[in-house]
Amino acid sequence: EIVLTQSPGTLSLSPGERVTLSCRASQSVSRSYLAWYQQKPGQAPRLLIYNTSTRATGIPDRFSGSGSGTDFTLTISRLEPEDFAVYYCQQYDNSPFTFGQGAKLEIK
Amino acid sequence: QVQLQESGPGLQKPSETLSLTCTVSGGSISRYYWNWVRQTPGKGLEWIGYIFSSGNTNYNLSLKSRITISIDTSKNQFSLRLTSLTAADTALYFCARGLPGGEDAFDIWGQGTMVTVSS
């Protein structure tokens, strides 16, 4: 099973700032089948990025993804108030599909 | 647009069998992968398994001996059956659609249904 480790666990930031979230895999995600989700309290996860760097439908371009192998990142270029949430990475390269433990963005 | 809705009992006793159904509305269930995911405060998000519209399945090995995912294309529904419940199965259960094209990220999710296992 591929274990995904996200860092940092919690970030306190202000609107307008740039943030980069990290997701490290225990073994190579060889086909770059890595996704990022955003989850707000009481809601289901929302797909932001798939295949490492492709934005899902309707996702603003301030969200971008990159990486390969075992190291992946999600960058939000300029935080909006609605971006404060929990972010999860997920690999669907190998079964079982696995998620990171989450990274929480909170307002400073 | 496509929407997913989970349904099933919210409270179960240990050793019972959980049955959840996900109803797909606003689109066809055909030619997609349909997933079950659960979430707990302790373990986070855990993928349970998927079924393709043809009936092919792939299960998380950690649960494989206890789960069955089935599909009824005539009703636009797919279902999860989880046997021998314990308190560790207490979780928020989501159904989710895989992006078209194969085993892929999950683009549409249901709102989730809370399942509590307690005597």
Residues of chain A with pLDDT under 50: none
Q: Is the pLDDT of residue B42 over 90?
A: no
* Smallest Cα distance from A17 to chain B, Å: 27
Residue B33 contacts residue B15 (beta carbons within 8 Å): no
pLDDT of B103 reads: 77
Smallest Cβ–Cβ distance between A99 and the set B45, B104, B109 belongs to B45
pLDDT of A33 reads: 95
For residue B54, what are the CA distances in angstroms to A49, B30, B58, B71, B83?
27, 8, 12, 9, 24
Residue of chain A minimizing CA distance to B110: A44
Average pLDDT, chain B: 95
Q: Is the pLDDT of residue B101 over 80?
A: no
Average pLDDT, chain A: 96
**Yes or no, beta carbons of B99 and A45 under 8 Å apart:** no
Smallest Cβ–Cβ distance between A50 and the set B45, B96, B99 belongs to B99
Q: Which residues of B99-118 are buried (b: 16+ CB within 10 A; e: fewer)?
A: beeebbbbbbbbebbebebe
Collect all residues of chain A within an 8 Å Cβ-Cβ radius of residue B47. 96-99
Q: Is the pLDDT of residue B41 over 90?
A: no
